[in-house]
Amino acid sequence: MLSWIFEEFYRLDNPHKNFLVKLDIVHVYPFIFKAYRIFRNAPEKQTLLEQVFKALEVIAFRDKLIRTRADLPTRLQKALQDFEDVPTLRQKLKEICADKSYWADTALTNALRPEGYDDHWRKNASIILGRYENYLHAQKSRTKGYTINIENPQIEHIAPQTENNEKLKSGYCDYDENFYQNYLHCIGNLLLIDEAHNVSIGNRDFAEKLESYNNAPPLLQQKEIKDFVQDKWDKEAIERRHNKIVDFVLKTWSL
């Protein structure tokens, strides 16, 4: 009975739908099935479905990134029961996201400054910085639909990680306990980069890194690093960039 919904959903080429599939949050699929049934014969069906996908993307992304132990499926069940139109769905999801302890803006902001750099954060940082790159290109060209395309994308620490007491090169601040806890792995110190570029720069002087960023098309997030720097890549520079990306995240994944 649901086969036509599966076929139609997976054939659809829509950025919000594609992102939902990438997130792989099973709790949102009952909403998708219900949306197809509700809007099956609506003249504006595709527009309504896109609005549903965008709303679901917000809660799915927040749950994926924040990784709280709170019971999201139970909270979503009531929203699913009441879902008959897009405004109602948005309102119900907004109420869930407003919970200060779990999926609210404060929790989302805190998740962007992790103490460690595990697989979970690496994957989510890649998603965020990929969307951020698309945003920068859209701002520059005043068009939507740009999709980043680089070979073997990786995440670069601008202020580098050091191993085995490796000596830090010039152009960076001291790595004190506060830096390790709040700055080294935060989104403001991370950069999307292709594998070959990442391998080539390693733990170089910041001036050398900055020159390589400026000469590395087509990523605009690399070229804008110079906008955050005064004398060196330090806590203040990281904080300026961090705040810009946090603002982007809050606006992108907001109801």
- Predicted confidence (pLDDT) at residue 16 exceeds the cutoff of 80: yes
What is the rounded average pLDDT of the residues 203-226? Answer: 88
Q: What is the pLDDT of residues 41-55, one digit of tens each?
A: 999 999 999 999 999
CA–CA separation, 45 and 39 (whole Å): 6
HSE-CB of 50 using CA atoms within 13 angstroms: 8
- Predicted confidence (pLDDT) at residue 150 exceeds the cutoff of 70: no
Q: What is the mean pLDDT of the chain?
A: 89
What does the pLDDT read at residue 145?
55
Q: Is 251 helix (H, G, I), strand (E, B) or coil?
A: helix
Q: Assess contact for 195 and 152: CB atoms under 8 A.
A: yes
What does the pLDDT read at residue 76?
94
Highest mean pLDDT, choosing among 191-205, 219-233, 240-254: 240-254
- Predicted confidence (pLDDT) at residue 223 exceeds the cutoff of 60: yes
Q: Assess contact for 85 and 159: CB atoms under 8 A.
A: no
What does the pLDDT read at residue 237?
97
Of the pLDDT bands very low, low, confident and very high (cuts 50, 70, 90), residue 190 is very high
What is the rounded average pLDDT of the residues 133-150? Answer: 74
Q: How far from each other are the two terminal CA atoms of the chain, in whole angstroms? A: 32
Of the pLDDT bands very low, low, confident and very high (cuts 50, 70, 90), residue 199 is confident
Of the pLDDT bands very low, low, confident and very high (cuts 50, 70, 90), residue 245 is very high
User: What does the buried/exposed string (b/e) look like for 20-30 if buried means 16 or more CB atoms within 10 Å of the residue's CB?
Assistant: beebebebbee
Distances (CA, A) of 24 to 27, 46, 187: 9, 21, 22
- Predicted confidence (pLDDT) at residue 217 exceeds the cutoff of 90: no
- Predicted confidence (pLDDT) at residue 233 exceeds the cutoff of 80: yes
- Predicted confidence (pLDDT) at residue 100 exceeds the cutoff of 60: yes
What is the rounded average pLDDT of the residues 128-135? Answer: 92
Counting residues of the chain whose pLDDT is more than 70, the rounded percentage is 94
- Predicted confidence (pLDDT) at residue 220 exceeds the cutoff of 60: yes
- Predicted confidence (pLDDT) at residue 251 exceeds the cutoff of 60: yes
